[in-house]
Amino acid sequence: MKLELKKLKGFTPRKGPLLLIIMDGVGLGKKDESNAVYCANTPCLDRLFETELFTTLQAHGTAVGLPSDEDMGNSEVGHNALGAGRVFAQGAKRVNKAIKDGSIFETEQWRRMAAGAKDNGSTFHFIGLLSDGNVHSHIDQLFAMVKRLAEEGVRHVRIHALLDGRDVLEKSALTYIGRTEEVLDRIRSEKGYDYRIASGGGRMVTTMDRYNADWSVVKRGWDAHVLGKARLFSSAREAVETYYKEDPGITDQYLDSFVVADNGKPVGRITDGDYVVFFNFRGDRAIEISRAFEEKDFSEFDREIYPDILYAGMMEYDGDLHIPAHYLVDPPEIDRTVCEYLCSEKVRMFAVSETQKFGHVTYFWNGNKSGYICRDIEEYIEIPSDKIQFDKAPAMKAPEITEKSIELLKSAKFRFGRLNFPNGDMVGHTAVPEAVISAVETVDSCVQRLLDTVKRLDGIAIITADHGNCDEMFTVTGGRRIPKTAHTLNPVPFVIYDPQYAGEYRMAGLSRQGLSNVAGTILNLLGFENVGDYDPSLIKFN
């Protein structure tokens, strides 16, 4: 289908480019010391938030396709909404529906795996993030599948538990392990089946790398889940309690890999003839381990053993590269993204970020599609991220992202550009106040440099965020500060910086406005009418 845009009547776009600046994880929270955005020295953002072209957007829950407004937003669904111009039902919502109506258990893939494990006496393995953070996974979805296998007569199940401490409280692993063991104990006592936790580790150490940033993380997961090579413990609980005792300051996401063993022998290695489901529904940290299980010609690390198994993801994590080959729940079909329309109109554009968020301004922005929409029109720039804990280097690659974006803007080749500063999210996840405040200040100074360039080029900038994080560094319970590493439910800022603004338009003041309203606004500022079935633009012309 040929996509077309109509020119706006009565508004001439600016001579210079339109730049979209996404301050990842920068929400608008309470005006107190828990909020790094409030505490930081941010002269640029302070001025922007006082202008008449400022408003706020919902970046969580139903506004981005999640089940309820109690669900935190995240970078993936946020960038989907920003690029799509409409709200699509997202991972958790789709999986919840498939489990609730039972359709997941009627799929050919589930039937094949469950029947195979039962008939062959094989082990059915689950790997994934063991929490109810509902960003990458939800423990209740895992329990529903485990209980279904017991009902279907599958006698051997193993769980490889990746510990969270990031989308939930930073030292909550024992709570989730306890809940899991209760489910497994009940099945063992009622059915006599062999259901156990087999291995695990903190999510930033084991299995869940993304964007090819650090394959050693995936290798540690492979070693634990497949080879049974990691520190041995009699139970997952013993592993976590031991790690806590050895390093009282450590948090769940950084716990070392572990293997559960009986008499020195791992209880749940993944071996030939087994069945494996990676039960995360979010794609970014699921792709690399999926490749390790599926690719015959794999060269990222030495697997040592490549078991002959049937592997499936909870969802398809990459729709273009079809990773994994098998999955349980269909992903949202996001078509006609804003950049597909702009490509059809030959609008030249660029996208820039560092490794940690490069996939967000490309793959997720483009509707879960890899690669370019039109290579002749677009330019994507990835700046390699440092392999370091982000509180140790809170500036991350923001200065380099800024420099590259300024270079692209000055080239006069592009009418539209988008970039992502990861600092507010990635450093925000550490909940180290000094580092998070420094990260926000870095972003503020980089935004100012970009705005100075946009002004010199007679352009416009949009400044917004995909969700909150650094706007709530801790909560207070019983007079005690509890570090908060998870995303927030706070709104995010939306500002138009237009040095030539002369009252041609105003903020629309929509009754409900979220990230999906940004695409139509981009089209308007580039001189096009909004697409008919896109969510309304955030501006109205006078």
Q: At 20, which helix (H) or strand (E)? A: strand 18-23
* Among candidate residues 294, 297, 346, 363, the one with its CA nearest the CA of residue 325: 294
Q: Could you tell me if 357 and 385 are in contact, meaning their C-beta atoms sit under 8 angstroms apart? A: no
The amino acid occupying position 27 is G
Domains of the chain, first to last: 25-90+333-541 (3.40.720.10), 92-329 (3.40.1450.10)
* Rounded to 5°, angle at Cα 369 from 367 and 375: 110
User: Catalytic residue at 75?
Assistant: yes
Question: Can you tell me the distance from the alpha carbon of 104 to that of 111, in angstroms, rounded to the nearest whole number?
Answer: 9
pLDDT at 320: 59
* Among candidate residues 20, 87, 24, 38, the one with its CA nearest the CA of residue 467: 24
Which tokens is 272 given?
């030939």
| Burial (CB count within 10 angstroms: exposed 0-12, middle 13-18, buried 19+), residue 76 | buried
Q: Are strands 460-464 and 492-497 parallel, antiparallel or unpaired?
A: antiparallel
Which tokens is 170 given?
């930073």
The SS3 call for residue 16 is coil
Which tokens is 222 given?
């492979």
* Rounded to 5°, angle at Cα 201 from 197 and 205: 160
Which tokens is 247 given?
């390093």
Q: At 156, which helix (H) or strand (E)? A: strand 156-163
pLDDT at 512: 95
pLDDT at 292: 98
State the Rg of the chain over Cα: 24
Which residue out of 34, 75, 131, 353 is catalytically annotated? 75
* CA dihedral sign, ordered 357, 467, 91, 430: positive
Tens digits of per-residue pLDDT, 397-450? 999 999 999 999 999 999 999 999 999 999 999 999 999 999 999 999 999 999
Question: Can you tell me the distance from the alpha carbon of 62 to that of 73, in angstroms, rounded to the nearest whole number?
Answer: 9
Tens digits of per-residue pLDDT, 183-236? 999 999 999 999 999 999 999 999 999 878 899 999 999 999 999 999 999 999
pLDDT at 330: 84
Along the 542 residues of the chain, how does pLDDT read in single tens digits?
A: 789 999 999 899 999 999 999 999 999 999 999 999 999 999 999 999 999 999 999 999 999 998 889 888 999 999 999 999 999 998 888 999 999 999 999 999 999 999 999 999 999 999 999 999 998 999 999 999 999 999 999 999 999 999 999 999 999 999 999 999 999 999 999 999 999 999 999 999 999 998 788 999 999 999 999 999 999 999 999 999 999 999 999 999 999 999 999 999 999 999 999 999 999 998 889 999 999 999 999 999 999 999 999 999 999 887 657 899 999 998 788 999 999 999 999 999 999 999 999 999 999 999 999 899 999 999 999 999 998 999 999 999 999 999 999 999 999 999 999 999 999 999 999 999 999 999 999 999 999 999 999 999 999 999 999 999 999 999 988 888 999 988 999 999 999 999 999 999 999 999 999 999 999 999 999 999 999 999 999 999 99
Question: Can you tell me the distance from the alpha carbon of 533 to that of 8, in angstroms, rounded to the nearest whole number?
Answer: 17
Which tokens is 318 given?
């990459």
Phi, psi of 201 (to 5 degrees): 155, 165
